[in-house]
Structure 1
Amino acid sequence: MYTISDISEIVVPKRSIIVYHKSIIQNLIYDTRKIVNAETGLFFALINRRDGHEFIMDAYSKGIRNFVLQNDFQQELILPDANVLWVADTFLALQAVAETQRMKFKSPVLGITGSNGKTIVKEWLFQLLSPEYKIYRSPKSYNSQLGVALSLWELNEQYNFAIIEAGISEVGEMEKLQKMIKPTHGVLTNIGVAHKEGFQSKEEKIAQKLKLFTDAEVLVYPKKYLEQIYMPSQIYKFAWGEDESCQLEVYSLKKEGDQATLVSLCFSRQFFTVKIPFVDQASIENAISCIAVMITFGYDFKTIADRIATLQPMEMRLELKKGKHNTSIIDDSYSNDLVALQIALDFLKQQKQNSRKVLILSDIPGVQLHDEKSISKLKRLVAASGLTDLIFIGPILSQLEAQFSLPTASYSDTKSFIDGFKHIDYSNSTILIKGARDYHFEQISKRLVAKSHDTILEINLNALEHNLNIYRGLLPVGVKLMAMVKAFSYGSGSFEIANLLQFNHVDYLTVAFADEGVDLRNGGITLPIVVMSPDENAFDAIVHHKLEPEIYSFRVLNSFLRYLLQQGLKDFPVHIKVDTGMHRLGFMPEEVDELLAILKNQDAMKVQSVFSHLASAGNAVDNAFTENQIHLLDVFTTKLKQELGYSFIRHIAATSGIDLWPSAYFDMVRLGIGLYGIDMDRDDLPVREVSVLKTNVTQIKELTANETVGYNRAGMLQRASRTATIKIGYADGYDRRFGNGVGKMSINGQLVSTIGNICMDMCMLDVTDIDVNEEDEVIVYPDIKEAALAIGTIPYELLVNISQRVKRVYFYE
């Protein structure tokens, strides 16, 4: 428990105003969208891509009364009853608070770092060591400078073991993480290519990662990644690998079919065998790291073997799926603790598509009825979550049903809930499923999620958020951002994408047709929405749902004006499009006077923005043409503003314009395909592809030379071959032009080609030269730019043509 006075002693402010010294601090707040229990919150105005000082009044209006600020603008004048601490660096102040909390913890702290496998090893160790220890571990992939600080803040005396994950992407980061985590024990996992751009060499990256273990007592590591290891002599260095000099020697590996691997090991001249329930190399390495850790903590070989055999694959992400009866299902059932629950509830609060919000929650491992602190925190989380319904499953939480004010039901186990499921109406709800692994909530998920065939489009919401921030980072302060969500958000979905964009405070959304905008409004989207192609028959819907039409011709202008006058409306927002050279839609520049004559003599509509579209922003040979387009919009809008007598937003730059034409930013930019991770103009932007189209192998056939495959016998085999039939065809949006070897897909990381013509629901692949089994996963577009080039199109077309019968699965890591 901290007071604001305690915090002041930790961060040593340059200046402070404390109006109430005993103000209790329980929550560290850095994002005003995620405020829980504001009365005990401490807001840090972090300066990153966005300046946290811009959100001080938002935090204040939501009840925050404790602030740590960096910029001193005498904020006490607008925060009269708040405690305010001004420090040199708010990020370092936050980390100092986390470090103080860590130093209060006297039990073992295991730090994990590496290029890959950190989170898996952390979660597996949690499973393996939990019978003996009450373990706290950092939630999900909270391994950054911010994530580690937030993780350590939750560390307390309820636990007697901690596992903290640390990740770095450049030189100088690990020293700060080491200072906070101070691990007593360490694990180094795989060293690969992740984040290699932040280091001059592999050796430098290893040296930086090893800094985490400077003060550790024991370090477990795979020797094959480290030729030599330079660490302080007091550290017990526990290497594992095939080398005889390793403390844990991997004597042999033998696969048992495609389900398990028998590993013979030798420690301290004693041989033992462990059955690892995986066959892939990464899982085997991660499991051996766990075995090595268990040995350093004194576990006997039998216990190790028994527990390793029970390891289960980890689903490390929260998934948003379309459910039955107009529901949205948030599936986050791989683990269940209070920190992970808070993260999931934050995500639930972002969802606006249904007013009814349901939490299905199992007992939380380690939380008992006498654990007043944990039960109290659970109550606070539920109270601040906006839930409308609560369902407990398990013998512990079921006894607390009467202590919650919202409608609550309880079941002793998962089976009893499923048995009564048909009597429960969950229609028109957003449902969060949060269960410990032992409760097998995947059975609940299967009953709630709408059925579809096995072809899915996975959409990474973290990647979309990352891309948004990359492009925001290119924009000067004050330039607004409009996000394009037309064409089902380039195939990625409608309200699911719009919800995330709204949560991240974009300024406008744009759709092609009014019905797309209506769907977003029905999904809870309140942002301004521009309709690019307003049809006269859609005027009622536009006005009723407060959509804002693009006006591009005198026909549309006069028609909409007549409608507004008939409805008796005033100052309805419209967006005027100017044709500066695209020659698709828009008023010609020379029509400005005629346009003004209409706009000046009415008050039914008000110009919200005036914009145009760059025709060739990504083509350097047309730079003079682009410059003229920018000039024409400037001249047009200058005259319009002078004559109308009021200001409006001006915009012309889409993704290519954002990349290459800062002079075209005006007041707002329109982010389209770049938001989804495809940038055709720049290779230096670290955007991440948002969607991955996946299917699986339905059947494998062994065929002889001269056999044919598919319709019209188009696939002629020149040799004895193996073919794989997969569940995607042109009805799913996989273009027929990809047939007969043009299309390339990836199975188990290896490229294969199509064979024969593409069918409506299926196609065939030549898998003769690779190791493949039925039900293996297939990546349809390993490189979507190359795929588009192969059939003479662009990635946009491939994305928007993915059929809506292909299930979208959204995940948030």
Structure 2
Amino acid sequence: MVTTEQLYDKFLECTGVSTDTRRITPDCLFVALKGDKFDGNQFAEQALAQRARYALVDDPAVAERDQERCLLVADGLTALQDLARHHRQTFNFPVIGLTGSNGKTTTKELIAAVLSKKYRTYATVGNLNNHIGVPLTLLSLNEQCELAVVEMGANHQKEIELLCSIAQPTHGLITNVGKAHLEGFGGIEGVRKGKGELYDYLIQNGKTVFINSRDKTLMAMYRERLKDTRSESTVAEVIFYPAAEAADEPIELLQESPVVIYRDSTKQEVTTHLPGRYNFENMLAALAIGDYFGVSVEEANRAIADYNPTNNRSQVITKGTNTVLLDAYNANPSSMAAAIRQFAATPAKRKVVILGDMYELGEESEAEHAALGKLIADSKFDLVILAGKDMHYALGYLPKAYYFPDKFSLHNWIMDNPMTDTSFLIKGSRGMSLETVLPFI
């Protein structure tokens, strides 16, 4: 079996890393991973035939077939993580790690946009933020990079701890703590503890922590950890945004609907492409990090103003006389409530919500969907359309809502009932893929 050091020497001969035979590039390293319903070892020969330089495998029988190009390890996933950790230790530029229940990807994109005004910045591509995605992100870094922004996602405790041990961030922030992945985390306190593992790593290793001083939960989490580590010699650098002692917010939110407009510290007004106070909080994080790394106010504002999402997150789309807020990449009780309140406050002639199930809530699913129904009822939209098996729990508060257990029925109904001069909010968990509704509006 090859050691991590031997594997790294082979990695340096390669042009990249792939775990998918549909994405093999010449001279890449193919990593065979196992899942509940697949075994990547079975595709090693195919990857090599498609011009992968090496195949990392953990099946001795597969390795025997091509001993020169098949690199045998005890476990493919562990080897991938160890390889990424080893590669991470070969460079010394700043690595910004971020996690949170909501807004991770948008905040990551905003931070990268701001930092790119001054530095060669590499950021997590798409949603590669888990125990496989973070290693792949790190293995994409090279000597041309001056800064890296690494998004870290988790659906159970100890996962952020693992990702920190691999990415070894020098700086970091938590966007927020909310009701996401309750089933895996074991409730909201489990979420708090799991996300807090990033603070644990940064504080214990004397790194830099960015904290939203207006978020009571994040401030409490920081104080708890500061109290626990006060006697230790390693104390993290802490940057509060806005400054904890500031009486007034230097960056003022002027408008949150249909898009955020803010006034910066130089009294310039900045119009963005993103809606909602929650996205304003994401912007504040990016501006604070940009300021810390010496990006000018003007350049940071330009980056924020120019950022236009194309990833089913907070997209404002015009369809004829209709306006659609497409936020269909994911949903949990916290993000759903924020989006609904935001949409309810948005001026519009006619407002319609199309909402899908929130996944991974476990035993809390019935109660959380019912609570969502009450919030929707209180918001008094012109039309409510619900889809998914658990959304029926919301119907107790919504006797006039249209409910569809599947998307096929939903699509047909929308086609048969065209609407004009209407503003729509479309939101649901990733498994619902509610962006498929867009062509029918």
TM-score by length of 2: 0.67
Cα offset for 1:286? 0.8
Q: Does 1:46 align with 2:33?
A: yes
Q: Which position in structure 2 is the counterpart of 1:33?
A: 22
Does structure 2 retain, via aligned residues, the 8 Å contact 1:219–1:238? yes
Could you say what secondary structure the match of 2:240 adopts?
strand
Is the 8 Å Cα contact of residues 456 and 809 (structure 1) preserved in structure 2? no
User: 2:114–2:304: 8 Å Cα contact kept in structure 1?
Assistant: no
Question: Which of 785, 788, 792 is the equivalent residue of 2:392?
Answer: 785
Deviation per CA, 1:565-592, whole angstroms, max 9, x where unpaired?
Answer: xxxxxxxxxxxxxxxxxxxxxxxxxxxx
SS at match of 2:113: helix
**Residue 801, structure 1, aligned to residue 412, structure 2:** yes
Are residues 185 and 47 of structure 1, via their aligned partners in 2, closer, same or farther at CA, if it must alter by over 3 Å? same
In structure 2, the residue matched to 1:659 is none
Corresponding residue for residue 199 of structure 2 = 210
Deviation track 1:279-302 (CA, whole Å, cap 9, x = no partner) reads: 6221111111122212322456x5
Q: CA deviation at 1:455?
A: 9.0
Corresponding residue for residue 326 of structure 1 = none
Aligned 8 A contact 2:256 2:276 in 1: no
| Unmatched runs of 5 consecutive residues or more in structure 1 | 13-20, 266-271, 319-333, 335-441, 464-694, 701-723, 729-746, 753-768
Using a 3 Å threshold, how does the CA distance of structure 1 residues 748 and 288 change in structure 2: closer, same or farther?
A: farther
> How many Å apart are 1:34 and its aligned residue?
2.1
- The match for 2:105 is 119
The corresponding residue for 1:170 is: 156
In structure 1, C-alpha distance between the alignment counterparts of 2:373 and 2:141, rounded to whole Å = 39
What does residue range 208-247 of structure 1 map to in structure 2 within 5 Å?
A: 208-213=197-202, 214-215=204-205, 217-223=207-213, 224=215, 225-227=218-220, 228-230=223-225, 233-241=234-242, 243-244=244-245
Q: CA 1:76 to 1:751, structure 2 compared with 1: closer, same or farther past 3 Å?
A: closer
Shift in alpha-carbon separation, 1:117–1:699, aligned structure 2, 3 A: closer
Question: Do the aligned partners of 1:115 and 1:191 also contact (CA within 8 Å) in 2?
Answer: yes
1:303-342 to 2 correspondence within 5 Å? Answer: 303=298, 306-307=301-302, 310-317=305-312
Q: What pairs with 1:566-645 in structure 2 (closer than 5 Å)?
A: none
Bigger radius of gyration among the two: 1
2:288 is aligned with 1:283: no
For residues 438-457 of structure 1, what are the structure 2 equivalents within 5 Å? Answer: 454=322
1:296 aligns with 2:283: no
Partner of 1:353: none
Letter paired with 2:240: A
- Identity over aligned pairs, percent: 23
Distance of 1:31 and 1:144 partners within structure 2:
16
C-alpha separation in 2, matches of 1:8 and 1:60: 22
* Partner Cα distance (2:174, 2:94) in 1: 17
Partner residue of 1:103? 89
Deviation track 1:761-811 (CA, whole Å, cap 9, x = no partner) reads xxxxxxxx7588xxx9x7622675358996999725834633557899549
Letter in 1 for 2:376: L
Mapped to 2, the partners of 1:725 and 1:67 lie a distance apart of 53
Change (3 A) 1:307 1:80: closer
In 1, distance between residues paired with 2:347 and 2:264? 35
Structure 1 SS opposite 2:82: helix
Aligned pairs for 1:700-719 (under 5 A) are 700=349
SS of aligned partner of 2:305: coil
Paired residues of 1:263 and 1:275 also in contact (CA < 8 A): yes
8 A contact 1:253–1:264 mirrored in 2? yes
Task: Give the conservation status (yes or no) of the 8 Å contact 1:170–1:198.
Answer: yes
Whole-angstrom distance in 2 between the partners of 1:42 and 1:453 = 49
CA drift at 1:236: 0.5
- The structure where strand makes up a greater share of residues is 1
1:250 corresponds to: 249
| Residues 448-597 of structure 1 aligned to structure 2 (within 5 Å) | 454=322
Name the residue aligned to 1:161.
147
Deviations 1:118-168 (A, max 9, x none): 211221122222221111111122111111111111111122121111112
- 2:13 aligned residue (16, 24, 30): 24
Sort the Cα spacing of 1:275 and 1:185 in 2 relative to 1 into closer, same or farther, 3 A: farther
Please tell me whether residue 72 in structure 1 is matched to residue 69 in structure 2: no
Contact 2:2-2:71 at 8 Å conserved across structures: no
Deviations 1:441-462 (A, max 9, x none): x9xx99xxxx8774989897x8
Residue deviations 1:512-531 (CA, integer Å, cap 9, x gap): xxxxxxxxxxxxxxxxxxxx
Q: 1:238 to 1:288 in 2, by over 3 A?
A: same
Q: Which amino acid aligns with 2:292?
A: T
SS at match of 1:226: helix
Q: How big is the shift at 1:308?
A: 6.7
Q: Does the aligned pair in 2 maintain the 1:26–1:41 contact within 8 Å?
A: yes
Deviations 1:685-723 (A, max 9, x none): xxxxxxxxxx999973xxxxxxxxxxxxxxxxxxxxxxx
* 1:58 maps onto 2:53 in alignment: no
Equivalent pair of 2:114/2:300 in contact (CA under 8 Å): no
Q: Distance in 2 between matches of 1:222 and 1:133?
A: 24
Whether the 8 Å CA contact 2:252–2:262 is kept in 1: the answer is: yes
Shift of 1:304: 6.8
The secondary structure found in structure 2 opposite 1:205 is helix
Q: Distance in 2 between matches of 1:454 and 1:28?
A: 43
Shift in Å at residue 35 of structure 1?
Answer: 1.7
What secondary structure does 2:154 align onto?
coil
- The Cα offsets for residues 651-687 of structure 1, whole Å up to 9 and x where unpaired, read as xxxxxxxxxxxxxxxxxxxxxxxxxxxxxxxxxxxxx
Structure 1 CA distance, aligned partners of 2:193 and 2:325?
Answer: 38
Greater RCO, CA 8 A, separation 6+ = 2
Change (3 A) 1:115 1:57: same
Distance 2:22 2:87 in 1: 25
Deviations 1:596-617 (A, max 9, x none): xxxxxxxxxxxxxxxxxxxxxx
**Equivalent pair of 1:114/1:209 in contact (CA under 8 Å):** no
Q: TM-score, normalised by structure 1?
A: 0.39
In structure 2, the residue matched to 1:653 is none
Deviates more, 1:50-59 or 1:281-290: 50-59
The Cα shift of 1:95 comes to 1.4
3-state DSSP of counterpart to 1:294: helix
Number of aligned residue pairs: 367
Sort the Cα spacing of 1:158 and 1:264 in 2 relative to 1 into closer, same or farther, 3 A.
closer
SS in 2 for 1:250: coil
The 8 Å contact of residues 161 and 198 in structure 2, kept in 1 or not, is answered as no
Contact 1:45–1:51 (CA under 8 A) maintained in structure 2: yes
Decide which moves more: 57-66 or 109-118.
57-66
Does structure 2 conserve the Cα–Cα contact (< 8 Å) formed by 1:219 and 1:235?
A: yes
In the alignment, the residues of structure 1 paired with residue 159 and residue 206 of structure 2 have an alpha-carbon distance, to the nearest angstrom, of: 18
Change (3 A) 1:698 1:287: closer
Determine which of 368, 372, 376 is the counterpart of 1:751. 376
Q: CA offsets, 1:335-373, max 9 Å, x none? A: xxxxxxxxxxxxxxxxxxxxxxxxxxxxxxxxxxxxxxx
